[in-house]
Structure 1
Amino acid sequence: MKRPFLQSTLRELRLVVKAPRLWATFAAVVLIFWVTGPYGSAERLAVVPRLGFWLVLHAITWAIAIVSAVLANGLLRERVASGFVRMMIGAAVASLPIGLVTTAIGSATFSATPTAPGVMADIATGLFLSLLFCALTWMTMNTESMLELNGAGATATASDESGNRTSGDPVPNKDTGGIPLLLRLKPANRGLPLHLTVSDHYTEVTTTGGRELILLRFADALSELGPVPGLQVHRSHWVADAYVARLVRDNGRMTLLLGDGTEVPVSRTYAAAVRLRWG
């Protein structure tokens, strides 16, 4: 595998395991299984061993489901548009190892001999649990997206003749309430967007408040800019009107000099729009 893929996968895993809500949900599920004692565990295990059994079983199965879902999210990124569908595919694949692990732990705990019907039943149960864990993981990774849908809502954008995203003329309010993208940033970095650029599977967002790397496809980030005046100038760069210092031409090659001194390349696809806007 390529190193950038491994790096992005590890970052996504860290994002998941650092989420307090996921751990709270995990603890609640383990508590429910411990207290209710399903699958005969209440009759066959004392209170403390039963807690240990369900804690170990859920820790391993959740880990398998989450790792599989995050791996599928990265591997299928170019083939499947929906992140949720990508992760659910990974969760479905994880049902097989989850079922086998469940069988192994159950057999070792209860001194039982595995049978083919029992293994198939554990795999079927593993499929249900894996999909459930994946759904919880997805909600954990997209809490801010849910806030945007419930609060900020959608904002209209305009397109140029070639279908590339451009912004309209209206200038957002100083409170930046019309820019859904900002809800993904830390409060200290929430200001008017100035520059967006691709970094692996992430988007680096520069605002008047600061700079931050977020787990979001570039196209999705552009769709959340709201009415900020600016233009996509390259497949990996979007710049705001207010951040462009001047257009630089050098032997037919065009770049934009930004307010912080950075030079951004202009691709041929966007050259005409750039000349019209800043030339």
Structure 2
Amino acid sequence: MQLAMREWRQMGKWRGPLSAVAIGALLGVTGPFGSQTSLAPAVRYAFWMVIALAGFGAAVAAERVLPSTAPGRRTATRIIAVAAASAVPMTFFVAWAMGVVRPGRTFSPVQLLGLFPYVALVQLLIARVISSDDRMTVAATVEQPAAAPEYPPEFVSKLPVSFRQDILALEAEDHYVRVHTLHGSALILMRLADAVAVIDPRLGLRVHRSWWVAKSGVRALEKTPGRAIARLVDDTAVPISRTHLSAARTVLTD
């Protein structure tokens, strides 16, 4: 799941530029604003590709500069504001680009004002694409919180109903496991190693070759001459071997 989410985020980095290229290709095909007849096909496609990519950059810059009133959400008003703000520099850029593909073509201040609405329309389309991309990226990066760990059914089903909650510790007794709970203890036919293997490690850890303790069942770790113990909430003293002492200190005292 985490790998899929990471791949989705990597794809999201390119979704905007690829969308701009798609918009440029569409504009190249349709040839709006008289470019269908005034520009040769090769020039027309190149012209609109450059305009779309530059428009994408301008829209992204405007998106970051304009204050957001609702992080993670893009309202219609904000999309229009991004389009209008980015259309200002893009109007001058389009005028310059038009002079490149059509040498000698210049724009007076009045003509620039007339060009602005057409540029703003293109920027509105780009801003809308960016808005959709942001929502998908936010949705993809929000991960659901991990579910609380539970004891597996194959373990719990072996216990009497009254002992299936408030588990404190497991104690090995030959080929059996004694399950200590706040309500007493019960003996089940199961090896301690097998029980530990199926229990979620977030619930507790093995502290001795004969003992496993639940994190919620430990009141404190105590050091006595020659040994360390885990004091359970029912006052039971569980020995901690040297092999497991470091892990016990890390897990049971965090």
TM-score w.r.t. the length of structure 2 is 0.46
TM-score w.r.t. the length of structure 1 is 0.43
